[in-house]
A and B are shown apart, each in its own frame.
Chain A
Amino acid sequence: GAVVSQHPSWVICKSGTSVKIECRSLDFQATTMFWYRQFPKQSLMLMATSNEGSKATYEQGVEKDKFLINHASLTLSTLTVTSAHPEDSSFYICSAQDGGRREEQYFGPGTRLTVT
């Protein structure tokens, strides 16, 4: 089956620093990847849609300069949280669609970010 990996699985950083999270589709090409944020005991909030070779599309209220997304290849998308603050602490999950069709999303295992 389709596998999506995320790295790192958890990270602790200091306020003001930047953190990069990688999302990879291991056995399929993903023209579209999605980045979600999930607070404890809450649902997944779509942050942005990452399209290979083009700019990401951000959801309303998500700061594009703070959450930098790059989809450099058909198997890799990265999310960089710039100048992190404690309120950025959250669970970040990526997902990918095989071929960009409106079908099931394959989720990565998530990255737990803690900003101190």
Chain B
Amino acid sequence: GQQVMQIPQYQHVQEGEDFTTYCNSSTTLSNIQWYKQRPGGHPVFLIQLVKSGEVKKQKRLTFQFGEAKKNSSLHITATQTTDVGTYFCAGPGNFNKFYFGSGTKLNVKP
């Protein structure tokens, strides 16, 4: 299946600090999705990026899709304790499938 790499694996920040997770693919992606999974919960869809170089914002979250459509990033400004969770990117495969990256676990210290 599609290989989507994600870094870092873990990130511990102090509340108020920024956080960024990166997603990389060896092949061009038609689109990429981002999900958040709270501890003990299930993944929740955050956003889908489709266009080359696309940048989308959701409050303190900024999502970018690379010009070559092989990488993407999620940046959180001024983290809060409610941001705690694992953030996954997901790249498409055939027949509407999506393959998830390894995820970045974010811990925010108050």
Is A104 a contact of B33 with CB atoms below 8 Å?
A: yes
- Of the candidates A46, A104, A106, the one whose C-beta lies within 8 Å of that of B1 is A46
CB distance A102 to B31 under 8 Å? yes
Contact indicator B97/A44 (Cβ below 8 Å)? no
Q: Which residues of B contact A106 (CB under 8 A)?
A: 45
User: Which residue from B45, B101, B103 sits with its C-beta under 8 Å from A105?
Assistant: B45
Chain B interface residue count: which class?
Answer: 20 to 34
Interface size on A, residues (CB 8 A): 27
A109 at the interface (CB under 8 A from B): yes
Alpha-carbon separation in the docked complex, A36 to B48 (Å): 20
| B42–A108 CB distance below 8 A | yes
CB-based closest 10 A-B pairs: A104-B45, A107-B42, A44-B100, A43-B102, A43-B103, A107-B43, A43-B100, A102-B96, A110-B42, A109-B42
